[in-house]
């Protein structure tokens, strides 16, 4: 029995909303890497649908961050505005 190598990971295009969302949350300190993935996913969903507020997206992610949610919200808002996206 031989072991095959895992498939290559396909990166999102640099200009895609997925890449933007996951890049924005990349250095937010979380208890586990999966918490950061959930935060990135919920930010991406918010960017696509714009349903609710950014604060609701952060809360709904259930991410266990090492900084308060208000600080996470401030960081996300600042980074989105740097990319030319209005958070509110």
- Give residue 10's pLDDT: 81
State pTM to two decimals. Answer: 0.84
More confident residue, 65 or 85: 65
Residue 30 has pLDDT above 70, yes or no: yes
- Give residue 64's pLDDT: 95
How do residues 31-50 score in pLDDT, each as one tens digit? 999 999 999 999 999 999 98
Residue 87 has pLDDT above 90, yes or no: no
**Is residue 12, in this structure, part of any structural domain at all?**
no
**Is residue 59, in this structure, part of any structural domain at all?**
yes
**Is residue 78, in this structure, part of any structural domain at all?**
yes
Q: How far is CA 23 from CA 3, 4, 39, 64, 87, in A?
A: 33, 30, 11, 18, 16
Q: Which domain, by its residues, includes 23?
A: 17-82
On whether the CB atoms of residues 24 and 52 are closer than 8 A, the answer is: no
Residue 1 has pLDDT above 70, yes or no: no
The vertex-21 CA angle with 6 and 14, nearest 5°, equals 65
**What total number of domains does the chain contain?**
1
- Give residue 14's pLDDT: 82
């Amino acid at each position: 029995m031989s072991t095959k190598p895992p498939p290559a990971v396909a990166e999102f295009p640099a200009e895609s909303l997925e890449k933007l969302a996951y890049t924005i949350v990349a250095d937010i300190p979380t208890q586990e890497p999966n918490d950061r993935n959930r935060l990135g996913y919920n930010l991406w969903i918010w960017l696509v649908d714009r349903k609710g507020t950014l604060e609701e997206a952060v809360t709904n992610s259930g991410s266990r961050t090492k900084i308060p949610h208000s600080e996470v919200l401030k960081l996300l808002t600042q980074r989105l505005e740097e990319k030319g996206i209005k958070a509110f």
